């Protein structure tokens, strides 16, 4: 898939207040110095350090109080030797004031203040631009804006950003047996899980899932649904119909829809062996098996790496190093992804494997992360240290 060019989402200008979870479409630099002026870090007095050097209880430094710095306003003027200016936390330091003393270390009366301790006066202020200088590089294109990053941008004077538009990802659900939660069910029908789990995962990862009517297991109807989805959206994710059964039309429909068509079909992975990856022009196609565990896991393992290229992103979930609670024994002929529940006990992170079939959504519903059993390994002993990769959670890290 790597050699096939994937369409890049277009760039849109959005207000900072709308930017949480969005992906930057270009690099960002600080617009202003942060802080924009030298600020006191304490409630107290702005001073000249040489005036208060060595001040103590026994030998306080006495200074004339020459004025106040109001919050949100400039200092009244430069400080003069032998004087102090009242300043609140975050207030502007007067020019030539190179120290600030805490009110707790002073006593004021009759227009004079006695300073008893000035040992930390030099660090009780923040210089102009100490946090960021105007023009400092902040983030590159492809960065997902977390709440803390949004705070940093606000502080740096940035009101609007260029973000990638959320790529529209069509979600096609195939299967005559599917009934929506809440709808009456005939014998032989099952609840449609993937419509909900896949849409939620796509939305959390920064895409706009576009839902379509269920696709019947009938070739002409499937072809028509796919044609509409590929015309209306930037990418297509299909649930079900990707294996080799008589009514598994995904490979034929994708192959006939355009070029290059099917790029990968069948991967040596469990769950999700019959997964299909394709391209129609520059639009990626992810054909997932219908089993809900396979569909969800394969969306993460093989779907997101392709889909995220539209946002200039790569999967970047940082694995959590954990101790395996019990042995895993599987066939070495495939690479396996095993859902695990993580818990903290005895100073360690414990990964408890959740074993079941790929139809049992319960095993994913209680899982926090996935671990990998590499092709050819077949076994991981209890007590082994494993890397558990979290599944998409907050919209920032599939």
Q: Would you tell me which residues interact with ligand AMP (CB under 6 A)?
A: 173-175, 177-178, 190, 192-195, 239-243, 245, 248, 289-292
Q: Which of residues 284-303 bind Mg ion (CB under 5 A)?
A: 290
Q: Stretches 155-163, 174-182, 220-228, 312-320: which one binds Mg ion (CB under 5 A)?
A: 174-182
121 binds, among ligand AMP, Mg ion, none (CB under 5 to 8 A by kind): none
126 binds, among ligand AMP, Mg ion, none (CB under 5 to 8 A by kind): none
Q: Stretches 121-129, 169-177, 306-314, 330-338: which one binds Mg ion (CB under 5 A)?
A: 169-177
Report the alpha-carbon distance of residue 270 to residue 390 in Å, rounded. 18
Report in angstroms how near the CB of residue 89 gets to ligand AMP at its nearest. 57
Angle among Cα 227, 210, 305 to the nearest 5 degrees reads 90
Helical (H) or strand (E) element with 191:
strand 190-191
Task: Find the distance separating the first CA and the last CA of the chain, reported in whole Å.
Answer: 19
175 binds Mg ion (CB under 5 A): yes
Helical (H) or strand (E) element with 147:
helix 147-155
The DSSP call for residue 43 is: S
Report the alpha-carbon distance of residue 226 to residue 282 in Å, rounded. 16
SS3 390: strand
SS3 6: coil
**Helices marked H in 189-329 — which ranges?**
194-204, 219-232, 250-257, 292-298, 304-307
Cβ closest to Mg ion, residue 358 vs residue 389 = 358
Answer for the pair 297, 267: CB distance below 8 angstroms, yes or no.
no
Report in angstroms how near the CB of residue 290 gets to Mg ion at its nearest. 5
Report in angstroms how near the CB of residue 288 gets to ligand AMP at its nearest. 8
Residue number, nearest CB to ligand AMP: 290
Report in angstroms how near the CB of residue 390 gets to ligand AMP at its nearest. 23
Among 44, 91, 99, 240, binds Mg ion (CB under 5 A): 240
Report in angstroms how near the CB of residue 195 gets to ligand AMP at its nearest. 6
Cβ closest to ligand AMP, residue 276 vs residue 308 = 276
Report the alpha-carbon distance of residue 230 to residue 170 in Å, rounded. 8
283 binds, among ligand AMP, Mg ion, none (CB under 5 to 8 A by kind): none
177 binds, among ligand AMP, Mg ion, none (CB under 5 to 8 A by kind): ligand AMP
40 binds, among Mg ion, ligand AMP, none (CB under 5 to 8 A by kind): none
Number of residues that bind Mg ion (CB under 5 A): 4
Report in angstroms how near the CB of residue 364 gets to Mg ion at its nearest. 19
Report the alpha-carbon distance of residue 210 to residue 220 in Å, rounded. 21
The DSSP call for residue 302 is: I
Cβ closest to ligand AMP, residue 63 vs residue 170 = 170
β-pair type (190-191, 269-270): unpaired
Q: Stretches 34-42, 167-175, 218-226, 259-267: which one binds Mg ion (CB under 5 A)?
A: 167-175
CA distance to 176, 230, 321, per residue, from 368 (Å): 31, 33, 13
Beta bridge partners of 137: 29
Residues near Mg ion (CB under 5 A) are 175, 240-241, 290
């Amino acid at each position: 898939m790597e050699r096939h060019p994937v369409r890049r989402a277009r760039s849109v200008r959005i207000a900072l207040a709308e930017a949480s979870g969005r992906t930057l479409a270009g690099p960002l630099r600080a617009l202003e110095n942060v802080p924009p002026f030298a600020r006191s870090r304490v409630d107290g007095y702005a001073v000249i350090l040489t005036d208060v050097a060595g001040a103590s209880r026994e030998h306080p430094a006495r200074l004339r109080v020459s004025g106040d710095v109001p919050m949100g306003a400039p200092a009244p003027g430069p400080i003069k030797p032998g004087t102090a200016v009242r300043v609140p936390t975050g207030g502007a330091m007067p020019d030539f004031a190179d120290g600030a003393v805490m009110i707790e270390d002073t006593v004021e009366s009759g227009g004079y203040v006695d300073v008893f301790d000035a040992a930390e006066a030099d660090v009780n202020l923040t210089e102009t631009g100490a946090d960021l200088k105007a023009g400092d590089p902040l983030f590159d294109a492809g960065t997902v804006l977390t709440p803390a990053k949004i705070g940093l941008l606000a502080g740096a004077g940035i009101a609007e950003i260029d973000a990638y538009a959320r790529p529209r990802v069509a979600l096609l659900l195939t299967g005559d047996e599917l009934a929506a939660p809440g709808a009456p069910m005939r014998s032989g029908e099952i609840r449609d899980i993937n419509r909900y789990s896949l849409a939620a995962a796509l939305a959390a990862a920064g895409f706009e899932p576009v839902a379509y009517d269920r696709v019947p297991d009938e070739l002409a109807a499937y072809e028509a649904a796919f044609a509409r989805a590929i015309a209306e959206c930037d990418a297509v994710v299909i649930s079900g119909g990707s294996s080799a059964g008589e009514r598994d039309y995904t490979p034929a429909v994708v192959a006939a829809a355009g070029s290059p068509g099917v790029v990968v079909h069948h991967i040596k992975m469990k769950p999700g062996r019959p997964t299909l990856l394709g391209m129609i022009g520059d639009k990626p196609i992810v054909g997932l098996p219908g089993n809900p565990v396979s569909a969800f896991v394969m969306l993460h393992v093989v779907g997101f790496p392709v889909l995220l290229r539209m946002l200039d992103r790569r999967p970047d979930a940082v694995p959590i190093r954990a101790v395996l609670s019990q042995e895993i024994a599987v066939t070495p002929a495939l690479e396996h992804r095993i859902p695990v529940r993580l818990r903290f006990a005895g100073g360690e992170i414990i990964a408890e494997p959740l074993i079941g079939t790929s139809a049992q959504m319960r095993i994913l519903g209680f899982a926090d992360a996935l671990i990998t059993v590499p092709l050819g390994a077949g076994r991981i002993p209890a007590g082994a240290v494993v890397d558990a990769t979290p599944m998409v959670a907050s919209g920032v890290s599939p």
